[in-house]
Amino acid sequence: MISVCLATYNGGAYVGEQLRSVLSQLRANDEVVVSDDGSTDETLAVIARFNDPRLRLLVGGCKLGVVKNFERALQASRGNTIFLCDQDDVWLPGKVERCQAALADCLLVVTDCVVVDNELKPLSPSFFRLRSSHPGILHNLWKNTYLGCCMAFRRELLQMALPFPNRIPMHDMWLGMIAEAHGGTCFVAEPLLLYRRHGGNASDAASKSTARFSKMIADRLFLALLVAARSLRHWLTRN
């Protein structure tokens, strides 16, 4: 079973196109877990119009933010293979099949993507080339290249990564680091997604960070300590 974990918030303009690209690659027993963070536009109505039993919608009261919204979707997922999914991108044909093949050799896979504008016109043919994406804890502590919408992983990763600690920079960075420490990651240099940049994204990994250097270093050191502590806890529970 495959679980696609999709976090939504006021994504009505794009979420329908994304869901069509996702559902076309799933089987009858797979699921899309949609966690909505209090959308006030037509997002929920667009999702409801699909009337697809594979869609599971989670709605809550208080606003969670991006990281906790994804955490809620992951906690509700039931699949053996899990994909992260943003509301405004488009999956390309073969994404599911290619990622499942890669996961035979690693715990988490990251694929390349084409960076596009709001009308899906290409801005860059390769996110990997823009960000010098490749595995490695030190490399990704310095410059995170774990792009959540391009990630899939085996369920066992959740046993180590959940619950998310407070104050992690982003959910995808945390998952990538934990995977690096347990079983490894693989980067597939094949664009399998259209990564839409439209000015209203929850994060913009395709752009240069504007965070203060001192804060970035402090955040990275804190994240490294969290990964080490979680890895030690997991090791102790298994031994």
Q: What is the pLDDT of residues 63-111, one digit of tens each?
A: 999 999 999 999 999 999 999 999 999 999 999 999 999 999 999 999 9
Q: What is the pLDDT of residue 200?
A: 58
pLDDT: which is higher, 12 or 234: 12
> Taking a C-beta distance cutoff of 8 angstroms, is the pair 127, 207 a contact?
no
Identify the three-state secondary structure at position 160. Answer: helix
How far is C-alpha 62 from the chain's CA centre? 22
Look up the domain containing 68 and give its range. 2-238
Distance CA 172, CA 158 (A): 12
Q: Rounded mean pLDDT of 33-48?
A: 97
Distance CA 179, CA 155 (A): 11
- Average pLDDT value for the chain: 92
**28 φ/ψ angles, rounded to the nearest 5 degrees:** -65, -30
Distance CA 50, CA 8 (A): 15
pTM of the model as a whole: 0.90
Q: Is the peptide bond before 93 cis (omega within 30 degrees of 0)?
A: no
Q: Which of 167, 127, 171 is nearest to 145 (CA)?
A: 127
Task: Please determine, for residue 214, whether its predicted confidence score (pLDDT) is greater than 80.
Answer: no
Q: How many domains does the chain have?
A: 1
| 215-236 pLDDT, tens digit each | 778 888 888 888 888 888 877 7
> Taking a C-beta distance cutoff of 8 angstroms, is the pair 14, 39 a contact?
no
Q: What is the pLDDT of residue 218?
A: 82
Pairing of strands 31-36, 81-86: unpaired
- We report the CATH number of the domain holding residue 229 as 3.90.550.10
Residue 12's CB: how many other CB atoms inside 10 A?
A: 17
Q: Rounded mean pLDDT of 44-59?
A: 97
pLDDT band at 205 (very low <50, low <70, confident <90, very high): low
Q: Rounded mean pLDDT of 132-146?
A: 91
Q: What is the pLDDT of residue 206?
A: 57
Residue type at 190 in one-letter notation: E
| 158-191 pLDDT, tens digit each | 999 999 998 898 999 999 999 999 989 999 999 9
Q: Rounded mean pLDDT of 120-149?
A: 94
